[in-house]
Amino acid sequence: MLLLTALVMPASAQETLGAGEGAPIIYPNFGGDPTTFNPLLVNDGGSSAVVARIFPAFIGIDPFTGAFVPGAAGAIASDWTISEDGRTYTFTIRDDWTWSDGTPFTSMDIKYAYDAIVSGQINTPLASAVVTVESVEAPDPKTVVITFVAPTCTAINVASSIPPIPSHVFTELFGTDYAQMNDSPWNLAPTVTADAFDFGNFRPGEQVTLVANQNYADAQLGYVVPQGWIMRMLASQTVEVEEFLAGNLTIIPSVPEDRQAELEALADAGEIQMHKGPSAGWQFLSFNLADPTNPRNGLDADGSPIDQGNHPIFGDVRVRQAFAMSIDHAALNAGAFAGTGFPVAGPILPQSWAYPDSVQPWPYDPEAAAALLDEAGWIDHDNNPATPRIAQGALYADDGTRLSFTLTTFSGNPSVDASTLIMQDQLRATGFDMQLEIIEFQAMVEKFLNQEFDAAVLFFGLDPQNPDEFTDLFTPAGDVVGAGFNVSSYNNPRATELLELARTVPDCDTEVRKAYYEEFQQIIHDDLPWFFINVSIVPSVARGDLVNFAPTEYSLYWNIDAWSYQLTR
Amino acid sequence: MVKYVVRRLLQSIPILFGITLLSYLLMTAAPGGPVAALAFDPRISAAERQRLEARLGVNDPWLVQYLRWLIGDDWMRRDTDGDGIADTAILIPLDANGDGVPEPPGERRGVLRGDFGISFTHRRPVLDVLFERVPATLELSISALLIGASVGITIGVLAAVRRGSIFDNLTRVLAVVFDAIPGFWLGLMLILLLGSQLGLLPMQGRCRVTMDDSCPPVYQRIEYLILPTFILSTGLIAGYSRFTRASMLDVMGEDYMRTARAKGLRERVVWFKHGARNALIPIATFLGPALTGLLGGAVITETVFSWPGVGREAIAAVSQRNYPVVMAVTVYAALATIIGYLISDILYGIIDPRIRLE
């Protein structure tokens, strides 16, 4: 039994410990227990964090470039080739590493996973990810052949979403009756794993414990230093920081904005370690371009566009552009994001290979915004910028309509609270009257997906290295009331075409693809279905005495098996 | 007595039924749903979300969902020819997600047949999820009840016998203060002060963080109980002390108290043997509301202190729209309340022989 109270010594003053001699890595989790440790069923952050420590990936990334590479640490694909027609990928499975019971990895570990995903029998979030796969075959134990419906430049991204599972165990437990997997006790007590750690135990509501796997083939030092890895269930971010400061947590992967300054001061003083990197997501504002009183899908059953009406205010792109130019990001950043954020022009983030420098965020220019509103038929009838403008010859609003709308967002997030209040104040200066509707998160999500809002603020992130994931956000295929994420009902055929073109570039020439994504980013910037409010710089912190804590821009945990510190009891 | 208990239990059946019906209606009428909570991810297609909705049965009318919860769905969608594929359906469609393939036959048997369903998020039987959390809640609730009742009653008796003293006035003021302070705020303040700043007590959890699967007996980890028990018992101490004081003052002027004094008994014997014993009679009725308050308070306290009990699970279930768990917690809370009030009534009869439970 280990009482986790520690005296901290600087990392530089310590040496890396031997195999299993390091204290366990204590990792925080709040917002609910992990629900499964089965890689095929994982659908929440807590479960994902555990699964990433005990199961390998099929294809891994280089932690220093973010690119998928053959033979990456922690991945079982050692190499792959691509057929001439670009549809078939043949992967070789490495043979220098085994599951924790000594069974070698085989191609069936991928094929079984794929067959289960597409069976429709299991509660997996991965089915959508593999719709472009035509078949997965295992011609011999070390070869996986994945054939795609059509040549696609996202093939490796898609293939990487198939998680290796111990097929010898799953075949024995479930056979081809995949539905049995859904409620299997194995999901919370996996008996066979393979990564830097093995599963130890799970005390619901308290902790998940993993133990060092000294047979891990990709250990940075040839052995795993920490004795184990423990996920602690905590009540909130406030307590998380206090527990870290008390020495009861090894790291905080994402420091809350309101505590960043305090922890940065400690990092400057050398008491803790801090790593800063841009968030993989944005806080954004979706405009509803269609009639919110009668939400309809973007396409009918034949794939033809449906008339969805127009939003009286935001149906006109000039109003959306005036909105963007009314926002002073510098003031917003200082007031809501503790000065840690930056604005972006579109969904493609600076850390992405596809990021185009040429497209810049909208400038803060209230005068240009006012002129654009005048042009759009929203006039300042009383020569008082602080009162809402009214429509006079506007595209979709009756004359006399006030430039008034409701911004819907969710409660309980300090930066969202602050940013919406600051935007409300800034918009008032150009004649927008923005009413705030701050509601419980699930209630907000329902309004968001049902497209029953004027404008909505949320944040989430996708894989910055795969811009194809924006398809559901900005094409009519995702404009499905209640279920799709193109909640703005945005439809620009050229934007849709560009995503398709970038996906199907011959030989997947990066420069050609980048050019398509550059045009896509420019169109989203100009059309403004979403206004990208902010991208935060998210610091991670670790104990001051944690040796080998060396996150990269793409991976916080790439060398976690070498993390080393000692507890003083 | 037995007849009375049986009658009360029978009377509670329609109450319980009404509570579940109303709860289900309110729960499903609330905005947001489990599919959005489980699959709010742009990488999951709209079609996949619709399939999940059908699989969970949350796109059925609320009354059908309630019936499924109450009496199961193994009679709603059935496989009559034994080929493993559903071929007949009542109340619900055979092909709920519209993909041209019948959904699997219903497997749920409903709470009336002991099946509380499968948790949407845990993908495990709801009773398994809750039963593993009941010990933690009982541990905290019983501690709080013992502390709350013993400290509260003692303070109430002493305040009454020293009516108008500094002690009396101070405890009355403190009772109002602690009754008014929100538990979540006080909890956070104590975490910051005693846990973070002074490092005297653990801030979170029920047991030490360990590499093995052990959580030692409660007497070896009392430090983890101190803060949550204090927070949960403050309301009880306040309630019991005020109630006891008032009850003691009522009995102080009774004839039997004067008689006891006239017999030459010492004041302490008069207060505690004759006074407090009679004053406790109405206090017995406080047990029912106290249990209800404990359950409500446990939800907040367990959440603030990350105590792995039913209350914390209830909060998570509500925010995730995990209907089966929310309903099971509702039944658990309703049963606890009904039993609490029943125990109050029975105690009343035991303490006061003049009362006959018939």
| B contact test, residue of A25, A38, A122, A128 with most B CBs within 10 A | A128
Is B121 in Cβ contact with A44 (below 8 Å)? yes
B87-114 tens-digit pLDDT: 888 888 888 877 778 888 888 999 999 9
Complex-level ipTM: 0.85
Mean residue pLDDT across chain A: 93
* Dist. CA A46–CA A54, nearest whole Å: 13
Residues in B touching A483 (Cβ below 8 Å): 46-47, 49-50
Does residue B36 belong to any structural domain of this protein?
A: yes
Whether residue A1 is predicted with pLDDT greater than 50 in this model: the reply is: no
* Dist. CA A567–CA B208, nearest whole Å: 15
* Dist. CA A463–CA A470, nearest whole Å: 10
Please name the fold of domain A281-537.
Answer: Dipeptide-binding Protein; domain 3 (3.10.105)
Position A123 confidence tier, pLDDT thresholds 50, 70, 90: confident
Position A3 confidence tier, pLDDT thresholds 50, 70, 90: very low
What are the residue ranges spanned by the domains of chain A? 7-54+195-250+546-568, 60-174, 281-537
> A205: closest CA among B133, B203, B228?
B133
Same domain, B138 and B172: yes
Tell which wins on pLDDT, A44 or A425.
A425
* Dist. CA A517–CA A523, nearest whole Å: 10
Who among B33, B47, B208 is closest to A1 (CB)?
B208
Who among A32, A232, A480 is closest to B209 (CB)?
A232
A506-533 tens-digit pLDDT: 889 999 999 999 999 999 999 999 999 9
Whether residue B319 is predicted with pLDDT greater than 50 in this model: the reply is: yes
Same domain, B84 and B192: no
Residues in B touching A48 (Cβ below 8 Å): none
Residues 310-349 of B with CB under 8 A from A: 312-313, 316, 319-321
Residue B105's φ and ψ, nearest 5 degrees, are: -60, 150
B308, B324, B341 - which closes a domain: B308
Does residue B338 belong to any structural domain of this protein?
A: no
Does residue B358 belong to any structural domain of this protein?
A: no
Is B45 in Cβ contact with A242 (below 8 Å)? no
Does residue B12 belong to any structural domain of this protein?
A: yes
Mean pLDDT of A243-250: 95
Tokens representing B167?
A: 């002690």
Whether residue A480 is predicted with pLDDT greater than 70 in this model: the reply is: yes
| pLDDT the model gives residue B237 | 92
Residues 3-22 of A with CB under 8 A from B: 3-4
Does residue B294 belong to any structural domain of this protein?
A: yes
CB pairs under 8 A between A and B: 173
Residues in A touching B43 (Cβ below 8 Å): 125, 128-129, 462, 469, 472
CATH number where B246 lies: 1.10.3720.10
| pLDDT the model gives residue B357 | 59
> Nearest CA to CA, how far is A385 from chain B (Å)?
37
Whether residue A409 is predicted with pLDDT greater than 80 in this model: the reply is: yes
| pLDDT the model gives residue B340 | 82
Whether residue A485 is predicted with pLDDT greater than 90 in this model: the reply is: yes
Position B356 confidence tier, pLDDT thresholds 50, 70, 90: low
Residues in chain A: 569
> Nearest CA to CA, how far is B49 from chain A (Å)?
6
Is A480 in Cβ contact with B46 (below 8 Å)? yes
Other C-beta atoms closer than 10 Å to the C-beta of A317 total 17
Mean pLDDT of B251-264: 87
Whether residue A6 is predicted with pLDDT greater than 60 in this model: the reply is: no
Mean pLDDT of A86-104: 95
Which of A356-370, A503-517, B39-53, B188-202 shows the lowest mean pLDDT across its residues?
Answer: B39-53
| pLDDT the model gives residue A569 | 47
Is B31 in Cβ contact with A440 (below 8 Å)? yes
Same domain, B141 and B183: yes
Q: Which structural domain range is residue B112 located in?
A: 2-125
Task: Provide the percentage of residues in chain A whose pLDDT is more than 70.
Answer: 97
Task: Provide the percentage of residues in chain B whose pLDDT is more than 70.
Answer: 98
Is A3 in Cβ contact with B133 (below 8 Å)? no
Same domain, B101 and B229: no
A194-208 tens-digit pLDDT: 999 999 999 999 999
> Does the domain formed by A7-54+195-250+546-568 have CATH 3.40.190.10?
yes
Does residue B77 belong to any structural domain of this protein?
A: yes
Whether residue B191 is predicted with pLDDT greater than 70 in this model: the reply is: yes
Does residue B215 belong to any structural domain of this protein?
A: yes
| pLDDT the model gives residue B51 | 82
Question: Is some CB atom of chain B closer than 8 A to the CB atom of A438?
Answer: no
| A contact test, residue of B79, B124, B326 with most A CBs within 10 A | B124
What's the CATH number of domain A60-174, 1.10.3210.10, 1.10.10.10, 3.90.1150.10, 3.90.76.10?
A: 3.90.76.10
Residues in A touching B132 (Cβ below 8 Å): 204
Position A183 confidence tier, pLDDT thresholds 50, 70, 90: confident
Mean pLDDT of B270-285: 80
Query: What is the domain count for chain B?
Result: 2
| pLDDT the model gives residue B355 | 67
| pLDDT the model gives residue A14 | 67
Using H for helix, E for strand and C for coil, what is the string for chain B? CHHHHHHHHHHHHHHHHHHHHHHHHHHHHCCCCHHHHHCCCCCCCHHHHHHHHHHHCCCCCHHHHHHHHHHCCCCCEECCCCCCCCCEECCCCCCCCCCCCCCCCCCCCCHHHCCCCECCCCCCEHHHHHHCCHHHHHHHHHHHHHHHHHHHHHHHHHHHHCCCCHHHHHHHHHHHHHHHCCHHHHHHHHHHHHHHHCCCCCCCCCCCCCCCCCCCCHHHCHHHHHHHHHHHHHHHHHHHHHHHHHHHHHHHCCHHHHHHHHCCCCHHHHHHHHHHHHHHHHHHCCHHHHHHHHHHHHHHHHHHCCCCCHHHHHHHHHHCCCHHHHHHHHHHHHHHHHHHHHHHHHHHHHHCCCCCCC
All residues at 6 or more sequence positions from B215 whose CB lies less than 8 Å from its CB, including other chains: A203, A206, B206, B207, B221
Tell which wins on pLDDT, A566 or A327.
A327
Does residue B194 belong to any structural domain of this protein?
A: yes
SS3 A48: helix
Whether residue B49 is predicted with pLDDT greater than 90 in this model: the reply is: no
Question: Is some CB atom of chain A closer than 8 A to the CB atom of B197?
Answer: no
Same domain, B69 and B142: no
Mean residue pLDDT across chain B: 88
Give the residue on B whose Cα is nearest the Cα of A442.
B32
Torsion of Cα atoms, A14 then A19 then A23 then A28, to 10°? 110
Let me know: does B125 contact B111? Beta carbons within 8 Å: no
Mean pLDDT of A285-307: 94
pTM equals: 0.87
Residues in A touching B215 (Cβ below 8 Å): 203, 206
Give the residue on B whose Cα is nearest the Cα of A123.
B52
Let me know: does A403 contact A388? Beta carbons within 8 Å: yes
Is A235 in Cβ contact with B305 (below 8 Å)? yes
Question: Is some CB atom of chain A closer than 8 A to the CB atom of B206?
Answer: yes
